[in-house]
Amino acid sequence: MTVHPLADQAAALRSETLRFARGAYGHDLMGRFLDDGQSFTMPARWSALDQPEQVRRILSAMDRRVAGGDTFAMSAPIVDAVKAVAQDRQVRLPLTEDLLPSPSGMLVAETPLCDLQQGWTMSFITWGPPLEGFGPGVHLTWWGAPPEGQSGETMPCIPDFDLHLPFAPFVDARLVHTDVPSAYLYSQVPLRTVVASWYAVSSTAVETIEHRPQPLLGRALAAQKAKRRSVRVVEAAAAQPVAKAIIEQSTALSATLSEKYGPGEAGGITSAAPTPPSASHGVFDRVRDGDLDPDLRHVAAKYRAASDYWHRLEAGIEQAYPGVFARLEEDRARRHGEWPSWCWMPSILVSARLMQWYDAPTRQAEWDGSRVAAVGAYLSRGRHALLGAIDLPPGLPTDPAPVGLETRMPASGVGLILRDGDQPDHHVIAHVDYRKDNPEGELALVTNYGRAAGGFRDLTRLTLFLTGTTMTAAVRATQEYYDWAAAQNGQKDVPSWDDADCAAAAATLGYYMAPLMAACAPDVTPVDAAGFTGRTEPASWPPEPGLLSEMRLWLVPTPRPS
């Protein structure tokens, strides 16, 4: 085996990646990512650990994939072929296990594989077996290199995106669909680039020769206890034959899978990506703000902020509990009629499922269950959100009774965008929960209190029994129940609420519920914000049942403050 420049490039990056996974810089950076709300693919039981331990386990798994796997280096003509195929979204790229060049490893490209965000480019990829709790597939990470002149502190590349990628017959929709929202493009093209690279490496149009890196790099990898320190350099004389081979192979594989699993959309293969990789902004995409009426630009900004935030909650839950929303929907269908139709699923049952399916600790499952139930209700009939946008005439009740709200809500769960002057908007999800000891139902509001950086576990849950003749009476009934429950649990000196306390709490809940109460009032018709722009056909109120891949915003007349 001889020394090859690409082998040196790949070996050097492998050594740097191991240093990153084992050193203080990697731990600090991954901790900052988690602080900023970024989620990583990990087993459900890890989510109950404190952040330093989560980071340690994420990096240890990364270390094992890089230290124990094979290393590949891909020449520039093959990179050109891969990029051409990845960007042609008419080409389907289903993934099967035999397309992986090795069970775990690292693939380095001679030139950037594709563009990422903000001038960054994809430099290399790492992969390995799925983590505990995930189905058949591969754990994939792609790594970004900064724009020229902005080199990293101690590492030339950093992890940009990680996910569990299933094997066929489950196929990630980004690999086979062309009709995806524009926001898919950030992760769709990189993901297709990775899979096209695996196709290329396994094709007959390339030549693979094993090379040793220079002795200095070999000794560094030996000191890091890296296995199989040679590099498989994959080369081709021209891009076109490689691109042709990839397309022929993917076409044949798609046909085989379609024949085996039945015809239909995407070859009859079930999509395993119910949660989009990023939130779609549709007609409210930032690049289109310039041709919006000035009065609607603030609506577009609020749409983007809310859509991004709730998508991050959804993705964070899917990372902590892989496939949980699909499994809960199946469970709901099997248990139809066991609770009122106005409840998506009782949060106490969701908690039980987290313990049963994911072995979540009891206290963690109890906390997470109410938050998962809220987001699940929001997703179940489409991602609908309400924004108080137009003042109603004065004279409406200032302390409206919430009785019957559960039957008047436009969907199982709805998002509420609450304006707070110059402060960040409050993002709330409202849904009606059910317990056998309270058959009237209770309104649950999960809110971030205007803090956009937290994850789903940082949500606060407010509860209101749907009873009484006024909001204040409902607050009193709710508080009396929780005082009684606290006493039953042995809590002493439970403070009692007087009329002033209940009225103050009712006023706060009234602020949180204003768009919802207005949307549920008679003779009030919310307006589809996207249709109001004139860029799309307006939807009618109330919203039709059905799943939406992007949030739909409704402008709701709300009472003026008294």
| Predicted confidence (pLDDT) at residue 268 exceeds the cutoff of 50 | no
Residue pLDDT, tens place only, 298-307: 888 889 989 8
The pLDDT-based confidence of 267 (bands split at 50, 70, 90) is very low
Phi-psi region of 234 (alpha: psi -120 to 50; beta: other; left: phi over 0): beta
Average pLDDT estimate for 536-551: 75
% of residues, the chain, pLDDT over 70: 87
Position 269 confidence tier, pLDDT thresholds 50, 70, 90: very low
| Residue 107: pLDDT band with limits 50, 70, 90 | very high
Dig out the tokens for 367 from the structure: 């906390």
pLDDT (average), residues 305-313: 89
Sheet with 438-447: strands ordered across = 460-465, 438-447, 423-435, 413-420, 384-392, 552-559, 527-528
Contacts of 116 (CB under 8 A, 6+ apart): 122, 144, 160, 186, 190
Answer with the residue of higher pLDDT: 319 or 22. Answer: 22
Residue 173 pLDDT level (bands cut at 50, 70, 90): confident
Q: Which ranges of 202-290 would DSSP assign to H, the alpha helix?
A: 215-223, 239-261
What is the band of 416 on the pLDDT scale with cuts at 50, 70, 90?
A: very high
Q: Dump pLDDT digits (tens) for 358-385.
A: 888 899 999 999 999 999 999 887 789 9
CB atoms within 10 A of CB 502: 21
Residue 272, pLDDT > 50, answer no
Q: What count of other Cβ atoms lies within 10 Å of the Cβ of residue 495?
A: 9
Q: How big is the CA angle at 541 (ends 536 and 547), to the nearest 5 degrees?
A: 70
Convert the pLDDT of each residue in 75-102 to its tens digit: 999 999 999 999 998 899 999 999 999 9
* pLDDT(506) > 80: yes
Indicate whether 64 pLDDT > 90: yes
Average pLDDT over residues 102-125: 92
SS3 415: strand
**φ, ψ at 2 (rounded to 5°):** -110, 165
Q: What does pTM read for this prediction?
A: 0.58
What's the average model confidence in pLDDT over 413-422?
83
Please indicate whether residue 515 or residue 84 has the higher confidence score (pLDDT): 84
- The pLDDT of residue 332 is 78
Q: How confident is the model at residue 543 (pLDDT cuts 50, 70, 90)?
A: confident
The predicted pLDDT at position 527 comes to 87
pLDDT at 49 over 70: yes
Residue 184: per-residue pLDDT: 59
Could you give the angle at which helices 76-87 and 239-261 cross, rounded to 10 degrees? 40
